[in-house]
């Protein structure tokens, strides 16, 4: 047998095989990247579309791509005793059961537990002689939470916005493995520079559900938003664009929340775009 000729034939055969495999690898990677990468051209195109529709994006446009799954959650069992002790340190509040709600009333205010995972607290606030600026208000709020031991684990500051009567509200979302759960929140209600109450709806993430898949890029979410919202009558500022989980709150045992792009405007509007399907998620 001619070993030299056999080696040459094998070299040629492997060369052809490697060329074929290399092409296959390049092809799949090329398609993979073209799907996942948000190009500068695309970013410019979307920003142009936003301007055309009278919107201005005042936050950076995320260009990363993510794989996410659905997330199973359930309403968290809030420790009623702990909350009562934290809020009514001065004395024993009166307790009443009203249509499935437990109501605690004392000098320090009223605390209601309307259902699993929920709590609503109101108290008399001071006369509204001053309205501190954002950063200061946030600090006041966090001081209150710290003092009462209410800083829930994984609570992330989600912004300040005006509530009824132009009284400010501070919103905290629950975070889970780097993403916010927009259904799960703690909202502080201010009166002047003091906390006059809060609302909690807190969830307990259980496990990821279903298959993991790539979510729509932010550019696509913004395009979908423009399709749904249409052109703005007056110039609007988009102040938030972030990825997280959301679903309407169900009176259920357990449910799945979906990955969403949360788009917020300066005037207080919020739109959730399902990051899998591109459909709007309503609360």
**Positions that interact with other proteins (CB under 8 A):** 3-4, 7-8, 10-11, 14-15, 17-18, 21-22, 24-25, 28-29, 31-32, 35-36, 67, 70, 72, 209-214, 247, 250-258, 274, 276-277, 279, 281
Query: In terms of C-beta density within 10 A (0-12 exposed, 13-18 middle, 19 or more buried), how is residue 121 classed?
Result: buried
For residue 127 the two structure tokens come to: 């006369």
Calculate the alpha carbon distances from 100 to 50, 96, 150 in Å.
47, 10, 24
Q: In the complex, what is the shortest distance from the CB of residue 210 to other proteins, in angstroms, rounded to a whole number?
A: 5
The residue among 20 and 269 lying less far from other proteins, judged by its C-beta, is 20
How far apart are alpha carbons 275 and 15 in whole angstroms?
43
The residue among 8 and 39 lying less far from other proteins, judged by its C-beta, is 8
The residue among 28 and 64 lying less far from other proteins, judged by its C-beta, is 28
Beta bridge partners of 122: 110, 197
For residue 193 the two structure tokens come to: 């520079």
Cβ pair 238, 265 in contact under 8 A: yes
The residue among 11 and 95 lying less far from other proteins, judged by its C-beta, is 11
3-state secondary structure of 88: coil
The residue among 142 and 256 lying less far from other proteins, judged by its C-beta, is 256
Q: In the complex, what is the shortest distance from the CB of residue 70 to other proteins, in angstroms, rounded to a whole number?
A: 5
- Whose tokens are 């679903």? That residue is 247
CA torsion, ordered 140, 145, 151, 155, to nearest 10 deg:
-40
Q: In the complex, what is the shortest distance from the CB of residue 242 to other proteins, in angstroms, rounded to a whole number?
A: 19
The residue among 1 and 234 lying less far from other proteins, judged by its C-beta, is 1
For residue 142 the two structure tokens come to: 């966090």
Q: In the complex, what is the shortest distance from the CB of residue 10 to other proteins, in angstroms, rounded to a whole number?
A: 6
How far apart are alpha carbons 196 and 198 in whole angstroms?
7
Cβ pair 110, 103 in contact under 8 A: yes
Q: Which of 212, 213, 161 is nearest to 190 (CA)?
A: 161
Q: In the complex, what is the shortest distance from the CB of residue 270 to other proteins, in angstroms, rounded to a whole number?
A: 17
Q: In the complex, what is the shortest distance from the CB of residue 176 to other proteins, in angstroms, rounded to a whole number?
A: 16
The residue among 2 and 166 lying less far from other proteins, judged by its C-beta, is 2
Q: In the complex, what is the shortest distance from the CB of residue 193 to other proteins, in angstroms, rounded to a whole number?
A: 41
């Amino acid at each position: 047998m001619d070993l030299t000729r056999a080696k040459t034939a094998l070299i040629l055969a492997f060369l052809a095989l490697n060329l074929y495999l290399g092409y296959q690898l390049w092809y799949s990677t090329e398609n993979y990247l073209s799907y996942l990468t948000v190009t500068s051209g695309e970013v410019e195109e979307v920003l142009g579309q936003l301007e055309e529709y009278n919107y201005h994006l005042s936050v950076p446009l995320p260009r990363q791509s993510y794989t996410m799954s659905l997330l199973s959650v359930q309403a968290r069992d809030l420790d009623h005793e702990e909350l009562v002790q934290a809020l009514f340190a001065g004395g024993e509040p009166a307790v009443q059961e009203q249509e499935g709600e437990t109501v605690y009333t004392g000098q320090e205010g009223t605390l209601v537990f309307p259902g699993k995972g929920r709590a609503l607290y109101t108290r008399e606030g001071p006369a509204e002689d001053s309205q501190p600026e954002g950063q200061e208000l946030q600090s006041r709020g966090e001081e209150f939470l710290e003092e009462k031991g209410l800083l829930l684990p994984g609570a992330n500051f989600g912004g300040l916005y005006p509530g009824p009567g132009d009284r400010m509200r501070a919103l905290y979302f629950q975070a889970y493995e780097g993403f916010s759960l927009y259904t799960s929140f703690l909202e502080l209600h201010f009166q002047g520079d003091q906390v006059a109450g809060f609302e909690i709806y807190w969830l307990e993430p259980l496990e990821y559900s279903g298959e993991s898949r790539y979510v729509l890029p932010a550019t696509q979410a913004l395009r979908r938003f423009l399709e749904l919202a249409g052109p703005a009558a007056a110039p609007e500022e988009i102040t938030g664009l972030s990825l997280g989980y959301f679903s309407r709150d169900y009176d259920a045992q357990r449910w799945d929340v979906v990955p969403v792009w949360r788009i917020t405007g300066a005037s207080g509007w919020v739109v959730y775009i399902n990051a899998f399907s591109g459909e709007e998620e309503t609360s």
